[in-house]
Structures are given as C-alpha cells and as structure tokens.
C-alpha cells in the first residue's frame, strides 16, 4: 500500500459528476437484483488456501527481490501473473498484450563527488534537469473474462503487485502482506471465475504497477482511457489482506471496507448482501471516512477511479508493525483470511457482472 499521497483532487468535482449523470451501476440495478446463491456457494466450495499460498510463496520470495516497479524483478513477477491467466484461459485485455507500459522517473545514481576540487570547472554548468533522472518502464498487467451480453461494460478487480525492492544493506522487502496477499487473492478470484460460465459483463483483472510510487499504474490506466469511465460498473480493490492489524486479534473475522457508499449507496448495499451470502465478514467501516487521520481512502489504487466518480470499494486488513519493513514475510500470513477474501472478491464480481 502507498505510504502517502501528496496531491489530492478536490471532491467538489466528484460531487458535481455524481449529480450530473446516472451511474452505470445505478442504471443496471434500478429494478433491484437477485443473488445467485447457487453460484456463490460453488465459489465458496472451490476457493483454495493451497492455491493462494502457492502464489504467495513465489511472490513473497527472495527470487523476485521485492518486486520494485521498473526493475527487472517487476517483470519476473508480471510474467508469473500472465502465465497463470493464460493457464486459466483469461485473454489479454489489450490488443495482443497483457502489458500496459508506462514511464517512471527516478534520480539518476551518480558516483560524482561535488566536493572534489578536481571536478571543479570555471565554465558555467548547463542546467539540464532531465539529465538528473533515469526513465524506467513499469508494467500494468491486464487480463479479462469477456462478457457475453454487454462485453463493453466492465467490473474491474484490482491489486498492486509491486513493492519496495531491496534496501541499501541488501535486505529484501518481500511484501508478503503488502501486497503479495492482495495479488494472490486476485489470482485466486480469477481462477474461481474461470471455472464458472462466462459472465454477462466483462471482468477485468487489473494487476497494477507502481502503486508504491504514488498509485502511478492506476492513474495511468485512467489517464490513457483504457476503458471509458462510464462503462465501469464498479472497481473492487484489494490491498494487505493477509493479517490482523494492531487493532484486532489474529484470527478475528473482520475486514475493513473503505468507500463502498461514497459514489452510490447501491455498491455498499450489494457488497453487504453478497458478503452475507458467502463469507460472513464483519465489515469494519472506521476508515470509511475521508477525513480520518490515516487517510486510507486516498492510499490505494481504487482512488484513481473513485476521484473520477466511479463506484469503488477498497478491502483492507489494516496496518501492523511489519508494514513497509523487511519483516513482512509469508510466515505471518493467515491463509484463512486470504481464502475468505478471494471468496468475497469472486462472488461480488460475479454478482455485479451478471445483474
């Protein structure tokens, strides 16, 4: 999860958008909806801790060196994601490609010593700020399950797969919870949905890049208009789902839900109904407040969509002492939390895609 977001969009803009148009979700649910309880039960039966922990064992291993955006190890992790979507029959969302590339900038490493008198020169230096930076290429990974009735309407499932890389001492930020856990849950939801009949609306599996750099991948998706915003039914974003936080006990059956009622009350209504049918989470809404001091509403990839007026919910397990530390390791993950999260994500996506 992103530590902090420095630039915020005024919410008066979103309010104006909400008042000026009827959201797609409100249009398709205006006459109510029916829960497909038989399929929801099947999702619960098929959800697998073994599959989830297998994904996490790779994503949180030293082999991928902390999955830093723009690094070769980001590409290793992305290749793993793509291979599994191919295995499950989820085609690339973009034309002939699972990859949506975008640039990152970082300060160029230098060995020059500005205090070394041998480096001094009487000539006035040329001021070229661009020379201070490297340009790296980061990847979003996009697969999907095509819709059969309204293929141009989308439910988006998102989770960032990048993390912090390696520190100056060579210690790996494995990011088992942040966000190996959410990535594993998204993969498991994709597997579960691949075992069901094709949905009426398309479901996009959006593995976002460079979230830790400032939600860059999600904002680039929106900026590059990969889908029209008014064609999105809802965005379901997952981040740090594998552990209890410092406010709860391990094994406690809670999940933070942030933002489901912000754009329209309909999404909150539906996500609570689906949860009651499949999963039994006790939703904790304490962070569902844009003025909360932690400002979690702004700190994960759903925000790129929510600030444009798209219905979005952020599922989150909470902060703990290993957040953004090299001690965020797989041994501390609670597999049962991952399984229940994958059940909710798949069941809610199925419901929204088939209303």
pLDDT at 19 over 70: no
Q: Which residue has the tokens 């499950």?
A: 88
pLDDT digits (tens, 9 = 90+) for 211-232: 999 999 999 999 999 999 999 9
Question: How much is the pTM?
Answer: 0.90
- 111, two tokens: 């060995």
- Paired with 160 in beta bridges are 208
**Can you give the pLDDT at residue 18?**
42
pLDDT at 187 over 50: yes
**Can you give the pLDDT at residue 109?**
67
> What's the CATH architecture for 15-106+130-353?
3-Layer(aba) Sandwich (3.40)
**Can you give the pLDDT at residue 16?**
38
Average pLDDT over residues 301-324: 98
**Can you give the pLDDT at residue 39?**
98
**Can you give the pLDDT at residue 178?**
98
Among the ranges given (37-41, 77-81, 102-106, 346-350), the one the predictor scored with the smallest mean pLDDT: 102-106
pLDDT digits (tens, 9 = 90+) for 126-140: 444 455 778 899 999
Could you tell me the CA-to-CA distances from 259 to 65, 68, 88, 145, 182 in Å, in that order?
A: 32, 28, 31, 25, 17
pLDDT at 121 over 80: no
**Can you give the pLDDT at residue 134?**
83
Q: Is the dihedral of CA 120, 122, 123, 124 positive or negative?
A: positive
Which positions ≥6 away from 58 have C-beta within 8 Å? 64, 80
Question: According to the per-residue pLDDT averaged within each range, which of 12-21, 47-56, 105-114 is highest?
Answer: 47-56
Q: Are 328 and 173 in contact (CB under 8 A)?
A: yes
**Can you give the pLDDT at residue 4?**
57
Higher pLDDT, 5 or 247: 247
Domain boundaries, the chain: 15-106+130-353
Q: How far apart are CA 19 and CA 290, in angstroms?
A: 19
pLDDT at 119 over 60: no
Q: Please state, for a pLDDT cut of 90, what percent of the chain lies above it.
A: 85
Residue environment code for 25-61, b if the CB has 16+ CB neighbours within 10 A, otherwise e:
beebbeeebebbeebbebbbebbbbebbbebbeebbe
């Amino acid at each position: 999860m992103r530590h902090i977001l420095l630039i915020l969009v005024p919410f008066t803009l979103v309010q104006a958008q909400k008042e000026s148009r009827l959201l797609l979700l409100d249009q398709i649910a205006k006459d109510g909806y029916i829960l497909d309880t038989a399929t929801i039960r099947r999702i619960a039966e098929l959800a697998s801790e073994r599959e989830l922990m297998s994904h996490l064992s790779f994503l949180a291993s030293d082999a991928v060196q902390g999955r830093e955006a723009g690094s070769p190890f980001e590409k290793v992790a992305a290749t793993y994601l793509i291979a599994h979507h191919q295995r499950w029959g989820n085609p690339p969302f973009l034309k002939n490609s699972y990859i949506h590339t975008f640039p990152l900038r970082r300060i160029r490493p230098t060995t020059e010593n500005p205090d070394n008198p041998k480096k001094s020169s009487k000539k006035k230096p040329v001021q070229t700020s661009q020379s201070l930076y490297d340009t790296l290429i980061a990847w979003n990974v996009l697969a999907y399950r095509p819709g059969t009735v309204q293929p141009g309407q989308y439910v988006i499932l998102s989770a960032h797969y990048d993390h912090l890389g390696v520190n100056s001492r060579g210690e790996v930020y494995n990011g088992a919870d942040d966000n190996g856990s959410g990535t594993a849950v998204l993969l498991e939801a994709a597997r579960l949905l691949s075992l069901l009949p094709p949905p009426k609306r398309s479901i996009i599996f959006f593995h976002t890049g460079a979230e830790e750099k400032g939600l860059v991948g999600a904002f680039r998706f929106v900026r590059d208009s990969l889908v029209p915003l008014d064609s999105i039914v809802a965005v379901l974003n997952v981040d740090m789902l594998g552990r209890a936080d410092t406010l709860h006990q391990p094994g406690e059956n809670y999940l933070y839900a942030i933002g489901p009622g912000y754009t329209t009350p309909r999404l909150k209504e539906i996500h609570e109904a689906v949860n009651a049918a499949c999963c039994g989470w006790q939703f904790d809404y304490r962070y569902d407040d844009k003025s909360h001091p932690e400002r979690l509403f702004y700190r994960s990839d759903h925000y790129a969509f929510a600030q444009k007026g798209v219905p979005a919910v952020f599922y989150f397990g909470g902060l703990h002492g290993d957040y953004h530390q090299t001690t965020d390791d797989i041994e501390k993950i609670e597999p049962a939390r991952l399984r229940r999260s994958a059940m909710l994500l798949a069941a809610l996506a199925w419901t929204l895609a088939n209303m």
